[in-house]
């Protein structure tokens, strides 16, 4: 009897956790879709921004700003999270830019840094050619070639043929919803919830 009650309690807790996880990623997806309603000009300029919760002007941004802004709508400040982790573990992060210390204005706005952060604190998922492996709330990173990287958020809207979920990203035309999952070489696939 006690064993059955324990197992039932455990099943209920697992079910509640699954619902909470699903609800979080549904809200993240909705936050991403909402960003597409905001007019944003692609602007890779360096900005001095406040800390924590700093952001570039809301009518400007790059691909990483889509991720940062979506998470911020759920109360997660990736500027602060990435900065603190880089400050404590600087040697684990990419050295592409030749920096010797962190920069809270830009570190979180660089795809390789976000990839490192998500691989440390999120779930690293398989990279496949199977559309069903990419679900709302997933974060996808691509190589565009020539050392250029890109990032986007899988959302709960489907492609016209209903085979893939769409991506919210900014590759130059603002924060848009696009059917581009397999348009570039995928180099990272993550799921992150703080």
- Exposure b/e, 27-53, CB count within 10 A at least 16 = b: ebbbbbbebbeeebeeeeeeeebeeee
CATH code where residue 22 lies = 3.90.1720.10
CB contact at 8 A, 123 and 191: yes
Q: What is the pLDDT along the chain (194 residues), one digit of tens a residue?
A: 554 443 334 333 333 344 455 799 999 999 999 999 999 999 999 999 999 999 999 999 999 999 999 999 999 999 999 999 999 999 999 999 998 999 999 999 999 999 999 999 999 999 999 999 999 999 999 999 999 999 999 999 999 999 999 999 999 999 999 999 999 999 999 999 98
* CA dihedral over 180, 143, 112, 96, signed as positive or negative: negative
Is there a contact between 63 and 140 (Cβ–Cβ < 8 Å)? no
For 18-72, write each residue's pLDDT tens digit. Answer: 445 579 999 999 999 999 999 999 999 999 999 999 999 999 999 999 999 999 9
Q: Quote the DSSP letter at residue 96.
A: T
Question: Under a CB-based contact definition with an 8 Å cutoff, are residues 109 and 139 in contact?
Answer: no
Q: What is the pLDDT of residue 2?
A: 52
Domain membership of residue 74 as a residue range: 2-191
Report pLDDT for 21: 57
Domain tally for the chain?
Answer: 1
């Amino acid at each position: 009897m006690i064993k059955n009650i324990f197992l039932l309690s455990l099943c209920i807790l697992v079910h509640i956790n699954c619902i909470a996880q699903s609800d979080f990623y549904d809200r993240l997806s909705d936050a991403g879709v909402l960003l597409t309603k905001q007019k944003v000009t692609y602007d890779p300029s360096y900005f001095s921004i406040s800390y924590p919760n700093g952001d570039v002007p809301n009518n400007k941004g790059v691909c990483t700003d889509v991720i940062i802004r979506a998470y911020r709508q759920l109360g997660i400040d990736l500027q602060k999270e990435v900065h603190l982790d880089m400050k404590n573990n600087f040697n684990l992060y990419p050295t592409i830019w030749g920096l010797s210390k962190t920069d809270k204005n830009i570190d979180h706005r660089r795809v390789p840094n976000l990839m490192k952060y998500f691989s440390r604190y999120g779930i690293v998922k398989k990279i496949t050619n199977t559309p069903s492996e990419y679900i709302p709330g997933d974060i996808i990173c691509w190589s565009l070639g020539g050392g250029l990287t890109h990032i986007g958020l899988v959302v709960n809207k489907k492609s016209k043929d209903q085979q893939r979920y769409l991506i919210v990203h900014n590759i130059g035309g603002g924060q848009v919803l696009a059917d581009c999952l397999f348009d570039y070489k995928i180099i990272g696939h993550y799921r992150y919830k703080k």
